[in-house]
Each structure stands twice: as C-alpha cells, then as structure tokens.
Amino acid sequence: MAKRYGVSPTTVHKWRKRTSTADARTAPKGPRSTALTVEQEAIIVAFRRHTLLLLDDCPYGLQPTIPHLTRSSLHRCLERHCSSRLPEIDGNKPKKQRFATYAIGYVDIAEVSAAAGKLRLFVAIDRTSKFVFVRPVESAGMIKAAQLLRDFIEAVPCRIHTVITYNGAQFT
C-alpha cells in the first residue's frame, strides 16, 4: 500500500489502526492556554465580568496578581471563555446623560467567585481613576477582607474618603 499510494510504511500502519477513513484532526482536542493556569483564567474571567472594564484597562488591574499577563494572552483567554465583548444593555435605552461625577477616592469593594466557587477574588476599584486592586483568596472571611482594605489603602495613590461594599458578612 505504501508504494501504491506513495506514502511511508508508518503512515500505512497508522491508517490500519483507524476505525474510519476520514482525516484525523491534528489540532489540540480543546483550546487551552500555555501561559495561564486554570485558576488564573478563572480570575481573569471573574474580574472582567465583575468590573466590566475595557480590554485595555484590565491588564493594569490584573498584572500585580498575574505578573506575566500580556494584553494578547488576556484577549485570547477572554475569547476562549466568551467574555471578550462587554454585554449590551437590553431594553429601552435611556436618553444619554452625563456620567455621575465622583471625587477621586470613592471606592467599591466586592467579593467575586471564580472557578466554580473554588477561588474567591476581592476587587477594589476607584470609580474616578479606575485604579483597580485585585487579591485572590481561598476563603473570604472578615480577616481577609480587612487585610485587603489595609493593602489597598497602602497601594492606592490617593486619599480614600468613601468605601462602598456589597452585602457580604465579611465587610460588616
């Protein structure tokens, strides 16, 4: 057969092991990252879904947590998880208004679940400057939340005057 079809004997050997005559796929079985771990991808997806930041703004908030993150690896990760485009608002769109103005130092703090509840993510965002602070934690208790706030205060380049938290027991 190798002489008849002009292929090597090893190719004929592969053909005989196959159950069908269709060409076998040579690409990887499933898309996955070679640069990011599964946990890091879960952090990226949860961060994007919670913050709804633009693609160009996400690396600045995530690079302290994932130092080797590049814009292209971030984009490929979001494409794999169908999160690369921000969601459109459904229903009747209200007339265009100016955004509410906030003084710098107005901060939202939230807890986000990633990777099916195996990993928690604390996110703090300044509403005006879009300064983002991310901290992945295994358990989200009051001590971890307090440490997040202390670390955020140390890292933020301005004075914080208002902190808004969501209804988590760790923030009360």
pLDDT (tens digit, 9 = 90+) per residue, 66-92?
Answer: 889 888 889 988 988 888 887 766 555
pLDDT at position 103 over 80: no
CATH number, domain 38-84+103-171, options 1.10.3210, 3.30.420, 3.90.550, 3.40.50 = 3.30.420
Give the CA radius of gyration of the chain: 24
Looking at residue 152, its amino acid is: F
Residue 132 bridge partners (DSSP)? 125
Q: Reduced to 3 states, what is the DSSP secondary structure of residue 80? A: helix
Contact 64, 134 (CB under 8 A): yes
106-114 and 132-137: which strand pairing? unpaired
pLDDT at position 130 over 80: no
Beta-carbon contacts of 94 under 8 Å, excluding residues fewer than 6 positions away, are: none
